Structure 1
Amino acid sequence: MTSEITLLVNPTAGRGRGAQAAQPAADALRGAGFSVRTVVGVDAPDALRRAREAVAEGTGALIAVGGDGMANLALQAVAGTGTPLGVVAVGTGNDFARATGLPVRDPGAAGRLFADALKAGRTRPVDLGRVTRADGTERLFGCVLASGFDSRVNDRANRMRWPTGPRRYDLAMLAELAALRPVRYRLTLDDGTPQEVAATLVAVGNGPSYGGGMRICSGAALDDGLLDVTVVGECSRTTLLRVFPRVYKGTHLSHPSVTVHRVRTLTLEAEGVTGYADGEPAGPLPLTVRSVPGAARLLLPQ
């Protein structure tokens, strides 16, 4: 394995923490004897192109510095290649890092962990979800594909220019609560008969959480070859507000309005709904989602 490691940096992640985090992570790797190259794209497509070039050139590992969006971008570059991935988690949510037991907002510790893992050859295969759009294009994700109420909150927040930061999502959520209405889904689970379902949201989990620790698919595991599908049925604003706090512990799954399916593949159909994978737009429904077992290799703690 080559001793050159590539850091893929999002300088704006976590209100500027991405740029600050790259240095202690790089220092830890260099201190362990590795050569480190830093890559910063001018935008997401450019960053992905540069990451894929580094993987094709044989980098010893690709280490994403940023939040879940940067981790998701790095997954596109390493999937199916055997190049190990590390994530220096300094974003807002950091759900992928949490799901894999990596340090959060401690770039020096992450860098030392990755150096130790590389020297010991310690990697772990993990599953990914693959989203296929109606036009045949695809995108991979590590944690959760959101659709329905939660994706409408994302849609609204993305259209807002004020305020900035987390308060924008708080206001977007309040606005969507005021406009709450069920989504008429058509779900096809594995090779079963399509089901017509009125639901508040449908979340598809390769991993357990999104949104900075909301365990919407609490039972999802990254190595079981399955996707957990959480269906929150039609419910009132009062019920949603009462149940919502339970999502941080995953206890919402026992509520009678919530149903969980475990599948290898599913198709989601609905009018006027956009899916978000790891917080990034995956495209309008219909979407087909498949589990891809062992699609990536991660550098992990002992």
Structure 2
Amino acid sequence: MTVTDEITLFVNPTAGRGRGARAAQPAASALRAAGFSVRTVLGENAVDALTRARAAVEGGTGALVAVGGDGMANLALQAVAGTGTPLGLVAVGTGNDFARDLGIPVRDPVAAGRMIAEALKEDRLRDVDLGRVHGMREDGSRADGSRDGGARADGTWFGTVLASGFDSRVNDRGNRMRWPVGRFRYDLAIVAELAALRPLPFRIRLDDGEVREIEATLVAVGNGSSYGGGMRICAGADLQDGLFDITVVGDCDRRTLLTVFPKVYRGTHLAHPKVTVHRAARIEIQAPDVTGYADGEPLGPLPLTAECVRGAVRVALF
């Protein structure tokens, strides 16, 4: 494979409280030092930025390099998935879970820029799986049998985890809060959601065709292993096996959830009797009054269908 000399830097200047803007220049300098021409895409907003990124890909850019966190990586995936255009990550956001899963250095834009340059020059690229979310079945109906035009999530790609249940409700609450700023806002949202904790009636269908109706605290669909900055909710997920790891946390009370939750950073929560794991290439998932999130970005209300697409994106790695 021959990579063109022009690289597109896809920048979120607000990522990590301004780290995105500060990281763009040293990353660009590292790429230029390796002989690449670098152009930068910012965009006035997410829609405009994605339009510009897609135009760069369609124009034959040698790679799209996302500078920011998981949200910026997710936006970049919408431009490069299925195209063969390599994706590079300069991970300087808060969570950086997709980069960590790929073994890419985080919060070191110089190292990341050099790594991307070397990978492109040496053809050190890997095709990895992505999840793709749909709000409707192939016959045009939603997963609940209705025909209301589908969800906003139709065709959205994701790299890490699709969250639904307690974790997505924490996101909902945290996103509504205007104070405090940063991660502490989500810590407060966790406390508030714990106070209101109750199991939810989920209905899931995997690719074996069996419908499972369960009371659960959350259902996490993992293409990658972690979300939320290192919470290994789907610890066994493999980015190249063509399957999701689907973690179901059952009907926990607050005490049980507080016992299980700290273990998620090591992945040892999977051994708890309230936790089960399924592996499947496709899942239909529904529950009342629950929003789905993927890579930390809102997808819209359940029901949703997700499929694991093998080798959907080519990534520059060490």
Distance 1:98 1:195 in 2: 32
Give 2:56's match in structure 1, choosing from 54, 57, 63: 54
Q: CA deviation at 1:243?
A: 1.0
Q: Secondary structure at the match of 1:16?
A: helix
1:112-191 matches, cutoff 5 A:
112-134=114-136, 135=150, 137-191=154-208
Q: In the alignment, which residue of structure 2 is the partner of 1:276? A: 293
Give 2:240's match in structure 1, choosing from 223, 246, 251: 223
Would you identify which runs of 4 or more consecutive aligned residues in structure 1 move more than 4 Å? none
Q: In the alignment, which residue of structure 1 is the partner of 2:80? A: 78
Distance 1:231 1:69 in 2: 24
Amino acid corresponding to residue 227 of structure 2 in structure 1: Y
Q: CA deviation at 1:164?
A: 1.0
Give 2:254's match in structure 1, choosing from 229, 237, 245: 237
Q: Secondary structure at the match of 1:202?
A: strand
Give 1:192's match in structure 2, choosing from 195, 198, 209: 209
Amino acid corresponding to residue 38 of structure 1 in structure 2: T
Give 1:285's match in structure 2, choosing from 302, 305, 309: 302
Give 1:202's match in structure 2, choosing from 202, 216, 219: 219
Distance 2:13 2:81 in 1: 23
Distance 1:229 1:99 in 2: 17
Distance 1:87 1:133 in 2: 28
Distance 2:232 2:285 in 1: 21
Distance 1:83 1:47 in 2: 17
Query: Is structure 2 residue 11 aligned with structure 1 residue 9?
Result: yes
Q: Secondary structure at the match of 1:253?
A: helix
Q: Please give the root-mean-square deviation of Cα atoms over the aligned residues, in Å.
A: 0.7
1:61-100 matches, cutoff 5 A:
61-100=63-102
Distance 1:242 1:46 in 2: 44
Distance 2:194 2:45 in 1: 33
Q: In the alignment, which residue of structure 1 is the partner of 2:228? A: 211
Amino acid corresponding to residue 77 of structure 1 in structure 2: A
Deviation digits for residues 142-168 of structure 1, max 9, x if unmatched?
A: 000000000000000111111111111
Q: CA deviation at 1:50?
A: 0.7
In the alignment, structure 1 segments of 5+ residues that lack a partner are none
Distance 1:58 1:224 in 2: 29
Q: CA deviation at 1:203?
A: 0.1
| More displaced stretch, 81-90 vs 128-137 | 128-137
Q: In the alignment, which residue of structure 2 is the partner of 1:266? A: 283
Distance 1:193 1:215 in 2: 27
Amino acid corresponding to residue 165 of structure 2 in structure 1: G
Distance 1:114 1:140 in 2: 22
Query: Is structure 2 residue 296 aligned with structure 1 residue 294?
Result: no
Q: CA deviation at 1:193?
A: 2.1
Task: Report the identity percentage.
Answer: 72
Deviation digits for residues 36-75 of structure 1, max 9, x if unmatched?
A: 0011011111111111000000000000000000000001
How many equivalent pairs are there? Answer: 301
1:16-31 matches, cutoff 5 A:
16-31=18-33
Q: Secondary structure at the match of 1:125?
A: strand
Distance 2:190 2:48 in 1: 32
In the alignment, structure 2 segments of 5+ residues that lack a partner are 137-149
Deviation digits for residues 75-125 of structure 1, max 9, x if unmatched?
A: 110011110001100000000000000000000000000111111111000
Distance 2:80 2:8 in 1: 12
Deviation digits for residues 205-227 of structure 1, max 9, x if unmatched?
A: 00000000000000001000000
| More displaced stretch, 132-141 vs 234-243 | 132-141
Distance 2:123 2:105 in 1: 19
Amino acid corresponding to residue 166 of structure 2 in structure 1: F
Distance 1:2 1:278 in 2: 29
Amino acid corresponding to residue 221 of structure 2 in structure 1: V
Q: In the alignment, which residue of structure 2 is the partner of 1:41? A: 43
Amino acid corresponding to residue 124 of structure 1 in structure 2: R
Amino acid corresponding to residue 161 of structure 2 in structure 1: V
Amino acid corresponding to residue 234 of structure 1 in structure 2: D
